[in-house]
Amino acid sequence: MKNDLRERRETHALSQADLAAAVDVTRQTINAVERERYDPSIELVFKLAAHFDCRIEDLFDPELNGTGTDHGN
């Protein structure tokens, strides 16, 4: 899943380990999410959005139907 996690983390001067500790996952999990090799659980998505005080949609783009939105087409 496309995401803006690395940019936000770096903007806030956080290491992967710092962010992982803040949202109670491993550094490897943060790395995998940033590299788009792992789709995070809904619980983790909510924790990350809360940590950065933003909407989930500001961090993640699910690319439904290749357009980023799903309008039932």
Q: Which fold has domain 2-57?
A: 434 Repressor (Amino-terminal Domain) (1.10.260)
Question: Which residue in 47, 56, 11 sits closest to 29, CA to CA?
Answer: 47
- Only one residue has tokens 């799903």, namely 70
**Looking at per-residue confidence, does 25 or 68 come out higher?**
25
Q: Where are the domains of the chain?
A: 2-57
Q: What is the pLDDT of residues 13-49, one digit of tens each?
A: 999 999 999 999 999 999 999 999 999 999 999 999 9
pLDDT at 63: 76
- How sure is the predictor about 70, in pLDDT bands with cuts at 50, 70 and 90? very low
How high is the pLDDT of residue 65? 59
Instruction: Decide if pLDDT at 57 tops 90.
Output: yes
Amino acid identity, position 39: D
Confidence of residue 66 (pLDDT cuts 50, 70, 90): low
Which H/E stretch holds residue 1? none
